[in-house]
Structure 1
Amino acid sequence: MNKLNILFVCGAGLGSSFAAQMSAEDVLTKLGVTAKLDHCDISSAVSMKPDVIITAENFRTQFEKFTIDPQTAMVYLKNIVSKAEIEEKLTPVLQAKGIL
């Protein structure tokens, strides 16, 4: 794998996805992981092929209606700016992808 590609998704692709991205940047720095980070809205996310999608738990049912590449790991957060929750849920994904 080249560089890990993580996509942060919210309804409009502006506010909460960007807030989650900023929190995740700190977590990734702490873990020593270099990744390409981007954020967008749900409808745009469906056509993209990131390694990981990070989004709020309340978007789970919307994502379940879409066909997402099976190689894309989905991370659902209850608190999108909680660095502790991001680290807790992202670490096993990074391990499974051989990044950690």
Structure 2
Amino acid sequence: MSKLNILFVCGAGLGSSFAAQMSTEDVLNKLGVEAKLDHVDISSAVSMNPDVIITAENFRSQFEKFNIDPATSIVYLKNIVSKPEIEEKITPVLQDKGAI
């Protein structure tokens, strides 16, 4: 399988999405998963087709209004830098996508 494309999303595409990306990178390294990581603002994310979107729980209502490709898995985090939460929520997604 080719590398997973994981997109981190926040309001401006800078601060919290990048913080989540750095924490997730540590989790992926621990799990031995290689992925292409990028971070963007929420309006840009709609036009992209990543394998996985990782975002904060407070963006759930906005994502529910968008027409996101059903093949894209969305992971909502309560604490965007919590490595235990990221690992708990991303592991089943990675298994489903055949990455682990």
Residue aligning to 1:53: 53
Structure 1 residue 2 and structure 2 residue 2: aligned?
yes
**Distance in structure 2 (CA, Å) of the matches to 1:90 and 1:6:** 11
Q: CA deviation at 1:79?
A: 0.1
* Over 2 Å off, 4+ runs: none
Structure 1 residue 36 and structure 2 residue 36: aligned?
yes
Q: How does 1:20-99 map to 2 (within 5 A)?
A: 20-99=20-99
Instruction: Report sequence identity in percent.
Output: 84
Structure 2 segments unaligned to the other structure (5+ residues): none
Give aligned pairs, total. Answer: 100
Structure 1 segments unaligned to the other structure (5+ residues): none
In the superposition, the TM-score normalised over structure 1's length comes to 0.99
**Distance in structure 1 (CA, Å) of the matches to 2:73 and 2:65:** 16
**Distance in structure 2 (CA, Å) of the matches to 1:38 and 1:81:** 16
In the superposition, the TM-score normalised over structure 2's length comes to 0.99
